[in-house]
Structure 1
Amino acid sequence: MSENYQFANGTVYGANGQVVGTYTTDATGQIDSVSTDEDHNGAVDTIIADTDHNGSFESAMVDTNADGYGETILLDTDNDGDFDTSAVDTNSDGTYETVATDPNGF
């Protein structure tokens, strides 16, 4: 089952209408970044960002266990529109044990 999100005036709403995050736009109105706190614990759960303002997201972070720390990071290092580098902290100790790169994307 997929979740539907709605965006209005800098706020992200979940399918049930509850606020789950915020977003920012560039001067042309294109979304630059989205941050969510879907479990409402006060810590960011996900962040995606269009760092070069070209319409595709180049970076993402996910807090997989709600501890306020991003255990998974994804990057589009060659700017081709797909994530090709990842880092994963498998035991939540603040060190990324797994780093992978695939120039064709994940």
Structure 2
Amino acid sequence: MKYEIKEISKNRKWHRFADTPPDPDAIAGVAIDTVDKSPIYGVREPTEDGYSGWYIWAGEYSNAADFFKPIHVRHMKDFFPIVEKYLSLPPGCKFIVDDKGYEDIWAEDN
């Protein structure tokens, strides 16, 4: 896997990551009912066949079984357009963003 060092966050100045965009036809778990809330959270789990690994929600997280709805990655912009630029982060990465300019991106330690 090729890694590059890029500046991707004002709060965590440097972060090592790979450019691993998900297949546009892959499925992401999106909390559609939270689109009007803030901040927006993203977590990328390991990918599997047909599954992007992404879970996206805004505001408070819920353990409800129907909290996340399966949608194709290509439709993410219809619900959370601000997150498109983060979808190439590799599995293990997380982010928090809002529409006022807050941005925090990090990778979980293995």
For normalisation by structure 1, the TM-score amounts to 0.31
The structure whose residues are more often helix, as a share, is 2
Higher relative CO (Cα under 8 Å, sequence separation at least 6) belongs to 2
Select the structure of larger CA radius of gyration: 1
For normalisation by structure 2, the TM-score amounts to 0.30
